[in-house]
Chain A
Amino acid sequence: MIFLRRQMPLLITMITGLIFAGQYYVPHPASEQLLTSATKWLQIIGGFALVLGVTSLFQVHAAKIRRKEAGWGYSMVLYAGMLGTMAVGWWANGKESVEGVSTAFGWVYNFMMVPLQGTMFAILAFFIASAAYRSFRARSREAAVLLIAAVIVMMGRVPLGEYLVPISGDISQWILNVLNASVRRAILIGVSLGAVALSFKIIFGVERSYLGGGKE
C-alpha cells in the first residue's frame, strides 16, 4: 500500500517530468504526438477538476448550513444561485442564445452575472480613492519616491493630465518602459529560476507536499 501511495506517484512524476522536460527539445513527430495526447489528457482532467471544485463548494456550504454557522444565510443564497443557474443551464443546453434569441441561461448571465461582476469591480474605484486619501502619505523618502512616481504616471496616462502637464506623458512612458520594465524583469528572472528549482525538486522527489497527507 505504501508503494502505491508514496513510491508510485513519485515514480510517475519523475518519469513524466523528465520525458516532458526533454520533449520540448525533440521535434520528432512521435514526440509531438506524445505532447498532443498529454495536453488532451490535461484538458480532460481540467474538466474533472471543475466537477471536483463544484462538489467541494457544495460540501463546505452544506456543512455551514447544517451547523447553522455565522453567515449560513449566505450559503443558502449560494446554493440557490448555483442550483438555479445549473438548472437553467441544463434547460438551455448550456447556450446563452439560440439564433440570436437569448435563453434563460443567457438572461441569468447577461442580467445577473455581468452587472454583479461589473458592480463589484466598479466599487473598487471608490475604495481606492478613499484608501489613497487615508494612506498615501510621504512618511519616508521611499514613500515620497513612490508617491511622486504614482502621481506622474497617473497624470501621464490620461488626456487631462497630459494637457495640464504636457511632459507628464513622456516621463510616465519612461518610468514604465525603463524603471518598471527593468525591475519587473529582475523579479521575473528570480521567479523563473525559483520555478525551475521547484520543478527539479518535484521531479526528483525532494518536494513531496503535493502528495498531501503526510502520514505513512
Chain B
Amino acid sequence: MSFAERMLKIDRRIIFVVIALCTLLPLLYPVGLPIKISQEVRGVYDHIESLPERSVILLSLDFDPASKPELYPQAVAILRHAFKKNLRVVAMTLWVSGTGMADELLTKVANESGKQRGADYVFLGWSPGGTAVIINMGQDLYNAFPSDYGSKPTKGQPVLEGVNSLKDVTYAVSLGAGNPGVEAWYVFGKDKYKFELGGGCTGVMAPGLYPLLRSGQINGLIGGLRGAAEYESLIGQKGRAVAGMDAQSATHVAIIVLVALCNMFYFTLRRQARQQGSQS
C-alpha cells in the first residue's frame, strides 16, 4: 500500500483528535481576531436601534437545546440590545422542548439588565399548534395565550398595554432552528399582519433564508455563531459567540486543510493508476 493510499484510509480517530484540539486550544488561548460586520446582521441591529423607547419587540425563540451553541448567544445579544434600548419584550417559543431554556435565558438577561417581568417583558411560553399559533396571535394575542408561562393572565399586564395582536408588534425576530421558524413567521405572520420581521438561524440553515432576505421579506438575518459574534460586537458586549469564533475559525481551517490533503492524495493515486494503465 502506497503512502497516499494509507493516508486516504487514515484512522478517523486521528481526525477526531485534530478537530478536538482545534476546538479546545483556541478556547483556552483565545486570539481574538477582528470580526467583520455583515449587512444581514446590521439589518437587525439597525432596526432595533431605530425603534423608539417602549416599542414592542416580539422575540420567538424557536429552537431547542440541540441548537443552543449557535442560537442562545444570538438571543442573549438581541435581548441585551432590546433592554438597553428600553423596549418592551414579548418572548415566546414554538418549540416545546425549548421552553425551559427560553425562560431561563430571558430571566437571566432581564435580571442582569434590571428589568421586571410583567412590566418590561413577558414570556408567553409555548402553545400547541405550530404555525396555527402564529395566525391565532395575529387574530387575537390573548386568545392564543390567555396566560403567560407563569400562569399569570396576559390581559392587563403593563408590558402588553396596547397590544392586541401581531399587528401591534413593532418588530418581530424569530430565532429558528428549523420548522416552525423564520419562514413560518413570514408566511403565516408578516405576510398577513404586516409587521417588520428579522431572523436568526443556525449556520447550516442560513443559505436557505437568503431568498427571504434579498426580497426584503425579512430585513436582517443573523446566521449561526458568526452572526451572534457580529451582533455581540455591534452592541459592544462580547460574550460566548465572540469567544467561540476562534474555535470555529480553527476548525474551519482544519477541515479545509483535511479536504485539500484528501484531494492531493486522491489525485496522486489517480495519476499513479493512469501511469500504470499506460505502461501495461
Seen from chain A, the residues whose Cβ lies within 8 Å of a Cβ on chain B are 24, 32, 35-36, 39-40, 42-47, 49-50, 96-97, 100, 106, 109-110, 113-115, 117-118, 120-122, 125-126, 128-130, 132-134, 136-139, 147, 150-151, 154-155, 157-164, 169, 173, 176-177, 180-181, 184-185, 188
**In the complex the two chains form, is B19's CB within 8 Å of A154's CB?**
no
Main secondary structure of the interface of A (DSSP, over half): helix
Interface contact A39-B252, CB-CB below 8 Å: no
When distances are taken between beta carbons in the complex, the residues of chain B under 8 Å from A161 are 249, 252-253
Output the nearest chain B residue to A180 by Cβ-Cβ distance.
B207
| B interface, over-half SS | helix
- A138 B263 Cβ-Cβ under 8 A: yes
Chain A nearest CB from B191 CB (Å) reads: 10
Residues of chain B within 8 A of A139, CB atoms compared:
266
Could you tell me if B68 and A118 are in contact, using CB atoms closer than 8 angstroms? yes
Question: Is A100 a contact of B69 with CB atoms below 8 Å?
Answer: no
For the complex formed, measure the closest distance between the CB of A193 and the CB atoms of chain B, giving whole angstroms: 15
B211-235: CB near A (< 8 Å → 1, else 0) gives 1011100000000101000000000
The answer to whether B214 touches A181, judged by C-beta atoms less than 8 angstroms apart, is yes
The interface bits of chain B over 153-166 (1 if a CB of A lies within 8 angstroms of the residue's CB, else 0) are 00000000000000
Which of B91-121 touch A at CB < 8 Å? 97, 99-101, 103-104, 107
Establish whether residues A158 and B36, one from each chain, have CB atoms under 8 Å apart when the complex forms.
no
Given A43-B129, A122-B69, A158-B248, output 4 extra A-B contacts at Cβ < 8 Å: A97-B100, A114-B65, A136-B263, A184-B208
Q: Does B274 contact A (CB under 8 A)?
A: no
When the two chains form their complex, are residues B139 and A32 in contact, meaning their CB atoms are under 8 A apart?
yes
Interface pair A121/B139, CB less than 8 Å apart = no
Closest residue of chain A to B253 (Cβ to Cβ) is A160
B245 on the interface (CB 8 Å rule)? yes
A33 smallest CB distance to B (angstroms)? 8
Q: Which residues of A contact B263 (CB under 8 A)?
A: 136-138, 147
Cβ distance A85 to chain B, nearest Cβ, rounded Å: 11
Q: Cα distance A125–B18 when bound, in Å?
A: 11
Question: Which range holds the interface residue count of chain B?
Answer: 35 or more
- Contact residues in A for B249 (Cβ distance below 8 Å): 158-161
For B135, give the chain A residue with the smallest CB separation: A39
Contact A39 B129 (CB under 8 A): yes
> B135 contacts which of A35, A106, A155 (Cβ < 8 Å)?
A35
Cβ-neighbour of A121 out of B66, B245, B248 (below 8 A):
B66
B236 on interface, CB distance cutoff 8 Å: no
How many whole Å from A137's CB to the nearest CB in chain B?
Answer: 5
- Supposing A128-B255, A157-B226, A177-B214 touch, asked if A137 and B262 sit within 8 A by C-beta, the answer is yes
Task: Say yes or no: B143 contacts A130, CB within 8 Å.
Answer: no
Cross-chain contact of A114 among B33, B68, B127 (Cβ < 8 A): B68
| A42 and B129 contacting across the interface, CB-CB below 8 Å | yes
Q: Which residue of B lies closest to A115 (CB)?
A: B65
Give min CB distance, B95 to chain A, whole Å.
11
> B140: which of A36, A155, A188 is its contact (CB, 8 Å)?
A36
For this complex, 29 residue pairs linking A to B, each with C-beta atoms less than 8 Å apart, are A36-B139, A39-B144, A40-B143, A42-B136, A46-B128, A47-B129, A97-B100, A115-B65, A117-B65, A125-B251, A128-B255, A129-B15, A129-B16, A129-B251, A132-B255, A132-B258, A134-B8, A134-B12, A136-B259, A137-B266, A158-B226, A159-B33, A159-B245, A159-B246, A160-B252, A163-B34, A173-B38, A184-B210, A185-B215
